[in-house]
Amino acid sequence: MTPPTAAGVSQPRSAIRRLTAAPSGNGSRPSRRAPERSPPPRRDGRDPLPLGAAVSRLIAERGWETPAAVGGVMGRWPQLVGPQVAQHCEPQHYDEEERTLLVRCDSTAWATQLRLLAPRLVARLNEDLGHGTVKVIKVRGPEAPRRGYGPLRAPGSRGPGDTYG
């Protein structure tokens, strides 16, 4: 097979240029696409919205501003209290009616430390969320493990009380 010559390569290119540049034999021009137009706005308020605007509108309509803001604080907990405290204490629940934030710590020492920091933390949270959003921080220590029964338990027994009485 012989390699194509320079003249052999340029002939197809020139033919393509002629076909695309010249109007076809039927008198029509090469078509240009018309710019797409957006549909007119709907009058019933169902216009498409960007996702962020739709979520903000839903939060405002449902009255979820405060819980959403507190949820954002729970996500930013390490930035608010510092990485060392965040490693040992985590927010568990926000009660909107009582405006309390429940925080669980992994040791009693950290629970005591957070109780001492609670007034400053309440002020910082209210500064970030708005005045009066959090009134009290309830600090809980680690939960005691549930008492499990031993392997030598008689089926159907209710503990030592059924032996003596």
Mean of the per-residue pLDDT values for the chain? Answer: 75
Q: Quick one: pLDDT at residue 140?
A: 92
Q: Which two tokens stand for residue 165?
A: 């009485």
Distance (Å, whole) CA 54 – CA 101? 28
The distance in angstroms from the start CA to the end CA of the chain is 107
DSSP line for 28-96 = PPPP-PPPP-PPPPPTTS-----HHHHHHHHHHHHT-HHHHHHHHHHHTHHHHH-HHHHHHEEEEEEET
- Give per-residue pLDDT as tens, 129-151: 777 778 899 999 888 776 666 66
